[in-house]
């Protein structure tokens, strides 16, 4: 049976109606989602908001009108909220509420007053060894609580760590953004062969298709430690370098030693080098071991 070709008029009408629907359902300052009034856009899909008790929260949203109510992206978003609801750790952002309306799905979480670690590194250039390792220890503790539930973050990077009370004695580090976590024995919602994570922070074994585990998160956390101490990423994508070539370098090349770009002890350099090893069996095998290695230098 011959397929009926698409009619240009039908497509134009569809796009016109979609544009109208998106305009009607625009998420902006003053929009009300359940108990939350949006006040300020913090990122592409996160808003500062107030609840009915006048408490400040952060609300993360995703439009069904863009992706369809059964799309993988919507299902990932719902799973992210479900996973957050199972976590209770002082260094993991706390979920407060989840909601769904005809055109949008959202969840509310604690609003973290502070700056992300990427911004702090950009501002200071390099962070001190004790400060960096104190934050790394807190994030490793958060990861340990995930790993005990067979959950792996897979997207550790400086911008996914919020720093409360930056530059103060009571400074704290909070792990955020669980959009691409992997739960062991649960079907992954990313496509087969999809590279998951942020280029430059992805463990080399995962670029070869190996499953996520604690050692992969430890590798990624160590790239953050390296960047905080040196002021530069472990690997830098060169101008004009394709993503494929860059990823191959991060997988195959030995990273430059931290001690070559920052004055640190040989012992600390050895800990960083160990946990950036291409072979996951050469790294710390769990976060408890990793924390013990860091504590010697705090």
* Better pLDDT: 178 or 59: 59
pTM assigned to the model: 0.86
Dig out the tokens for 34 from the structure.
């359940």
Confidence of residue 39 (pLDDT cuts 50, 70, 90): very high
List the domain boundaries for the chain: 20-110, 114-295
- Quick check: 217 pLDDT over 80? yes
Task: Give the CATH H-level superfamily of domain 20-110.
Answer: Phosphorylase Kinase; domain 1 (3.30.200.20)
Q: What are phi and psi of 175, to 5 degrees?
A: -85, 130
Average pLDDT of the chain, as a whole number: 89
Q: What is the pLDDT of residue 197?
A: 85
Rounded to the nearest 10 degrees, how much is the dihedral formed by the CA atoms of 136, 234, 214, 296? -40
Cα 275 to chain centroid, rounded: 20
Confidence of residue 21 (pLDDT cuts 50, 70, 90): low
- Quick check: 223 pLDDT over 90? yes
Task: State the catalytic residues.
Answer: 155
Q: What is the pLDDT of residue 93?
A: 96
102, burial (CB in 10 Å: exposed 0-12, middle 13-18, buried 19+): exposed
Task: Give the CATH H-level superfamily of domain 114-295.
Answer: Transferase(Phosphotransferase) domain 1 (1.10.510.10)
Q: What is the pLDDT of residue 187?
A: 47
pLDDT tens for 105-140 read: 999 999 999 999 999 999 999 999 999 999 999 999
Dig out the tokens for 9 from the structure.
């008029």
Q: What is the pLDDT of residue 192?
A: 46
CA pair distance 178, 48, nearest whole angstrom: 18
Confidence of residue 102 (pLDDT cuts 50, 70, 90): confident
CA atoms within 13 A on the CB side of 107: 22
């Amino acid at each position: 049976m011959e397929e009926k070709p698409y009619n240009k008029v039908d497509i134009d009408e569809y796009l016109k109606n979609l544009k109208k629907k998106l305009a009607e359902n625009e998420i902006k300052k003053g929009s009300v989602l359940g108990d939350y009034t949006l006040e300020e856009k913090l990122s592409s899909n996160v808003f500062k908001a107030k609840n009915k008790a006048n408490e400040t929260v952060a609300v993360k949203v995703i439009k069904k009108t863009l992706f369809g109510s059964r799309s993988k992206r919507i299902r990932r978003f719902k799973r992210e909220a479900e996973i957050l609801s199972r976590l209770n750790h002082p260094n993991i952002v706390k979920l407060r509420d989840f909601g769904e309306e005809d055109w949008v799905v959202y969840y509310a979480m604690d609003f973290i007053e502070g700056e992300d670690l990427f911004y702090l590194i950009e501002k200071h250039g390099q962070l001190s060894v004790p400060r960096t390792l104190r934050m790394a220890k807190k994030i490793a503790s958060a990861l340990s609580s995930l790993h005990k539930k067979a959950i792996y973050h897979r997207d550790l990077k400086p911008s996914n760590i919020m720093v409360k009370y930056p530059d103060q004695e009571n400074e704290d580090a909070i792990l955020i953004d669980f959009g691409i976590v992997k739960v062991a024995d649960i079907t992954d919602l990313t496509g087969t062969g999809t590279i998951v994570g942020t280029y430059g922070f992805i463990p080399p074994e995962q670029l070869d298709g190996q499953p996520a585990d604690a050692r992969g998160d430890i590798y990624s956390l160590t790239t953050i430690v390296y960047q905080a101490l040196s002021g530069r990423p472990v690997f830098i994508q060169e101008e004009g370098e394709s993503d494929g070539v860059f990823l191959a370098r991060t997988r195959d090349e030995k990273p430059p030693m931290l001690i070559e770009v920052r004055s640190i002890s040989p012992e600390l350099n050895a800990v960083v080098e160990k946990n950036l090893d291409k072979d996951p069996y050469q790294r710390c095998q769990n976060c408890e071991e990793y924390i013990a290695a860091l504590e010697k230098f705090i």
